[in-house]
Structure 1
Amino acid sequence: MVEWSATPLSDALERGDVLSPDCPSRLILNHVTSKWGVLTLLSLRSGTLRFSALRRKVSGVSERMLAQTLQQLEGCRLVDRRSYAEVPPRVDYTLTPLGREAADRVAALADWIESSLPFLLEPGPVAA
């Protein structure tokens, strides 16, 4: 059984765990913070979506990339996939409780980026 610790990332960074190439959290970090991972998590915050609706919401993602992203997030236990034996087949995706927590944290970062965009895109040298 894998034990889970609620150690804040800032503490983990101080210890250097996530900075180590052998740290298993790097794989999760990669899935959660990839462009399509972030956009998928943000899109599922509004509730359960079918694949086609999710693809429309995550504008610009290919079918293959969305499927891969969903598999990765499902493998990290952040997204739950439910398939129904219907014709045509129906598959729904929803955030798990851990996924909702991750999505909320990613949303805070996305909100900060959006509100800071004028400064982030400002030309010229960065002030020290």
Structure 2
Amino acid sequence: MFPRIREITDAFGARLRVSIEAQPTGALVVFDRPDRTGYPRAVLDGYGAEVLCGYIIAARLALPNALPDEIVDGPFAARFSLAFEDKVAVAMVGKRGGDRFDLPAPFWDRLYAELCVIIAHARELTRRAAGRVH
């Protein structure tokens, strides 16, 4: 069942790959842009994925206005912000100053739906991992 990989393509051919990978303590959600050479990957744990899911909807509802940043702590710490540069995007940056990973607005609806499924899988993998530890 894992890893689980899905690709989202927008109307212009841009691609976003979202995968969930099992790990000893639960699951990680990995974001890639296979259509962009040398683009960084972004990795979140289940907590970060849940916050991102909510932030995507908040960003969609806030447009055209700004939205305060959200910060996720922990081993996969990140800052989410609504960016208005050349394209509207949710920007993810590792809290410790990692590379910026943009999620352009055309991906948001499908990514939100995909994250709802991924979060359920991540919770179950984390529950199973906790059962193995005890």
Taking structure 1 as the reference length, the TM-score comes to 0.39
Structure with the higher fraction of residues in helix conformation = 1
Structure with the higher fraction of residues in strand conformation = 2
Greater Rg by CA: 1
Taking structure 2 as the reference length, the TM-score comes to 0.38
